[in-house]
Chain A
Amino acid sequence: MAEGYVEYSGLKKNFGAVPILHGIDLKIDEGAFVVLVGPSGCGKSTLLRMTAGLESVTDGDIKIAGRLVNRVHASNRGIAMVFQSYALYPHMSVDENLAFSLKMRKTPLERIAEAIKGAAGILKLSPLLDRLPAQLSGGQRQRVAMGRALVREPAVFLFDEPLSNLDAKLRVEMRAEIKALHQRLATTTIYVTHDQIEAMTMADTVVVMHDGRIEQVGDPLAIYDRPENLFVADFLGSPAMNLLDGKVVATDYPDQPRAVEVAPGVLLPIPGGAAAEPGQSVVYGVRPEHVALVGEDAGEPVTMTLVEPAGWETHLHADLAGLSLRILSVERVGAKPGDRAGILIDPERVHLFDRATGRRL
């Protein structure tokens, strides 16, 4: 198998007796933009910090560009890191911040000046070079932090939740800037976030982590369309996927020989090829945007409980035989709580999971 540019094999981390990472195996291609995503405490930041050399390795190997770096000092790994808090040197001006790593490496002054000029040009920092970090806005500080990483021309960029201190609007802007920067420089990037929108929009490859393990790796849309287990299904997507406990039953319909009974008498369709046997306990998953609203006299009857118009889409909460169902409509739905309607579900858009193992069926 081909070697990855960044490669983890059997990587484990314990803090004292507490295991944080349980054997991570992952290969990252050169030039890829990989996003590690997962809830707080899933080990994604620990993995990033181990890559940076800020945490020791308990067991297993980390390779960067073919070199085993387990015992290589952070400054010699060829990485640059952007921290959540930016970690700018508050007593140094922007150009001093940008120059610091090069000074520490005893780079000639002309070369430092060149590197600062280059980075400042790319990140539009040129007019700010004399300012102190305290005199910059959040977005500008973020750009300085990126510039500081940029001047080192690292083999790998590491980002640790770099946008979580910014307000929503700026976050969207910076998201686009970071992605554009990556498209321009094509430097291998590992980006940690708990925000699934960031993960979906920025990544070539998403790595979903949970409890110190990798749950699924893949193209963002592929993961979204085909989550391998319940955790990934639940974690990715906003509003979250509807997950309903049910049992597979045989039906009398020739085109739908099997269905899932989620409540007494409520049968929902499943994909033809699903490997589910009648009698099997399953979790029935359907994304809110794949539930179609129809008239009261068609489909399964529901009652609206909450309507949240968001402008370009409408989030609806409905009661389906005592179960709560989320529905996402891109149309303006004139429904009110208490209104009755019917729902239709495209069986090919349904995700079935084994209730006992949580695996996709």
Chain B
Amino acid sequence: MATLTRGGETAMIGREPGFFDALMARFGRVILIGLPLAFLVIWTMVPLIWALLASFKEPLEIYESRSFWPRNPSLDAYWTVLGMDGFGKWMFNSILVTVVATIVPLILSIIAAYAFARYLFPFRHVLLLLYLVPRIIPRVSLIVPLNDLMTDLGLINTYWVLYITYIASAVPLATWILVGFFKAVPREIEESATIDGANMWNRLRYVILPIAWPGVVTAAVLCIREGWNEFAFVLALVTETGMRTLPYALYMLKDSMGVQDYAVYNAFTILTVLPLLVVYLLLERRVVDSIVSGAVK
């Protein structure tokens, strides 16, 4: 559709867009965007919803009925989980290591990513690639040497062993994400800040980080997810019951139950997933807000 304007009058050339075009446009959008999205949502949500519904069922109901819905929904399984010896400690352990394994990697990665993004030092490309090595090698292959090393250092069954391994695995991830976001901050803005009298730390604090904030939150979300869900290291490097994190405790739960109480099992799963989900939803809104407003104060 072309439009000609002359002397304030507008003349249309061709056909005006009608009801049919609008319908097709809307329908096309639904098919192209809506359907795949709906499929993805179902794909990811069904297992979670299944677990949620199963957690409300009676202990043996899952063996007897194929119904999706619980016969007599109850919170008994949750009370069982919350009443377990050690559940509070496991939750605390998970929160503690996740917080440490988020804050420390973020600080380290912000500094490292800034250097990679802005400074022209020799071998920076190779170094950035080497940064990825810990994430490329299968985690399981690290476990035996790590176990030997940590035993020699006397760190088995301490928080330190979890801090060290979790941080080491989160730093490369966060750095790689942040390098891209930092590089996207126009160099002139930083030069302007330099002329304005900001030293490197002030530039980072007042200019780079606020502009790259969505990247920082993204990195934080991924660090939290990594820390919270980590399983291989805690399984290999921790043996004491009191040092377990939630995923490890969940795994042990399965072993100790004989005939498995799926309601309890799923209630435990839901309680493990829930904090992560809350954090994710809170932070995700922040990311979206900052993108929409174009800045974060």
Contact = CB atoms under 8 A, between A and B. Distances in A.
A74 B197 CA distance: 8
A80 B188 CA distance: 13
Interface in B165-214: 186, 188-189, 191-198, 202, 206-207, 210-211, 213
A169 interface: no
Query: Which secondary structure dominates chain A's binding surface?
Result: loop
Given A100-B206, A134-B294, A87 B194 contact: no
Contacts of B82: none
Nearest to B296: A91
A152 B193 CA distance: 13
Contacts, number: 72
Interface residues of B, number: 22
Interface string A20-63: 00000000000000000000000000000000111000000000
A104 interface: yes
A146 interface: no
A101 interface: yes
A125 to B, nearest CB: 17
B211 A91 contact: yes
Contacts of A132: 293-295
Interface in A91-113: 91-92, 100-101, 104-105
B6 interface: no
Contact of B195 (A81, A84, A88): A81
Count chain A CB atoms within 10 A of each CB in B186, B192, B211, B213 and give the residue with the most.
Answer: B192
B66 interface: no
A85 interface: yes
Query: Which secondary structure dominates chain B's binding surface?
Result: helix
A284 B114 CA distance: 56
Given A100-B206, A104-B202, A91 B191 contact: no
B297 interface: yes
A90 interface: yes
A148 B195 CA distance: 11
A326 B259 CA distance: 97
Given A91-B295, A91-B297, A132-B295, A100 B196 contact: yes
A79 interface: yes
Contact of A100 (B193, B211, B294): B193
A134 B292 CA distance: 11
Interface in A112-136: 132, 134
A205 B294 CA distance: 41
Count chain A CB atoms within 10 A of each CB in B186, B196, B294 and give the residue with the most.
Answer: B196
Contacts of A83: 188, 191-192
Interface of B: 186, 188-189, 191-198, 202, 206-207, 210-211, 213, 293-297
Interface of A: 52-54, 74-75, 79-81, 83-85, 87-92, 100-101, 104-105, 132, 134, 148, 152
24 contacts: A52-B195, A53-B194, A74-B194, A75-B196, A81-B191, A85-B188, A87-B189, A89-B189, A89-B193, A89-B206, A89-B211, A91-B294, A91-B296, A92-B295, A100-B193, A101-B195, A101-B196, A101-B197, A104-B196, A132-B293, A132-B294, A132-B295, A134-B294, A148-B196
Given A91-B296, A92-B295, 20 more contacts: A53-B195, A74-B194, A75-B194, A75-B195, A75-B196, A87-B186, A89-B189, A89-B192, A89-B206, A90-B189, A91-B294, A92-B297, A100-B196, A100-B206, A104-B193, A104-B202, A132-B295, A134-B295, A148-B192, A148-B196
